[in-house]
Amino acid sequence: MTDPHAPGGAAAPRVVAVVVAWNRAELLGRCLDGLGAQTRRPDALVVIDNASTDESPHVAAEHPAVTEVVTMATNTGGAGGFASGIAVACNRYDADLVWIMDDDTVPGPGALQALLEVRDRYPRPPAVLASRADWHDGREHPMNTPRARVGASRERRRDAARVGCRQIRSASFVSILIDAQAIRAEGLPISDYFLWNDDFEYTTRLLRFREGLYVPASRVQHLTKTFGDTSADPGPRFYQEVRNKVWMFTRSPALAAWERLLYGGSTLRRWAATVKASSDRRILRKGLRAGLRDGLRHGPRSNARVLAGTPVEADVLAIEGDR
- Kindly report, residue by residue over 182-220, the tens digit of the pLDDT: 999 999 999 999 999 999 999 999 999 999 999 999 999
Q: What is the mean pLDDT of the chain?
A: 93
Indicate whether 292 belongs to any domain.
Answer: no
Can you tell me the mean pLDDT for 275-281? 87
Q: Identify the CA nearest to 15 among candidates 178, 184, 212.
A: 178
Give the confidence band of 229 by pLDDT, cuts at 50, 70, 90: low
Decide if pLDDT at 233 tops 90.
no
What's the count of helices (H) and strands (E) in the chain, helices before strands? 12, 10
CB-neighbour burial class of residue 116 (10 A; exposed 0-12, middle 13-18, buried 19+): buried
Beta-carbon neighbour count of residue 73 at 10 Å? 10
Query: Any idea how long the chain is?
Result: 323
Q: Among positive and negative, which fits the CA dihedral 225, 228, 232, 238?
A: positive
Indicate whether 2 belongs to any domain.
Answer: no
Give the confidence band of 228 by pLDDT, cuts at 50, 70, 90: low
Decide if pLDDT at 138 tops 70.
yes
33 and 114 in contact (C-beta within 8 Å)?
A: no
Indicate whether 190 belongs to any domain.
Answer: yes
Residues 6+ apart with CB under 8 A from 287: 234, 236, 237, 238, 239, 241, 242
**Distance between CA 295 and CA 210 in Å, rounded?**
28
CA distances from residue 173 to 39, 136, 211, 278, 310 in whole angstroms, order as listed: 22, 18, 17, 26, 22
**Could you tell me whether strands 68-71 and 166-170 are parallel, antiparallel, or unpaired per DSSP bridges?**
unpaired
**Distance between CA 132 and CA 60 in Å, rounded?**
25
Indicate whether 289 belongs to any domain.
Answer: no
Backbone angle region of 196, left / alpha / beta, with phi > 0 → left and psi within -120 to 50 → alpha: left
**In the prediction, which pLDDT does 276 show?**
87
Indicate whether 271 belongs to any domain.
Answer: no
**How many domains does the chain fold into?**
1
Q: What is the DSSP letter of 232?
A: S
DSSP assignment string, 266-284 = HHHHHHHHHHHH-S-HHHH
> Which ranges of the chain does DSSP label H, i.e. alpha helix?
25-36, 56-62, 77-91, 111-121, 154-162, 180-186, 198-207, 238-251, 257-277, 281-297, 303-306, 313-320
Beta-carbon neighbour count of residue 35 at 10 Å? 24
What is the span of the domain harbouring residue 192?
Answer: 7-229+298-320
Indicate whether 278 belongs to any domain.
Answer: no
23 and 53 in contact (C-beta within 8 Å)?
A: yes
Indicate whether 290 belongs to any domain.
Answer: no
Q: Please give the share of the chain, as a percent, with pLDDT higher than 70.
A: 95
How does pLDDT run across 66-108, given as a tens digit for each residue?
999 999 999 999 999 999 999 999 999 999 999 999 999 999 9
CATH of the domain at 207: 3.90.550.10
Indicate whether 212 belongs to any domain.
Answer: yes
**Distance between CA 35 and CA 17 in Å, rounded?**
8
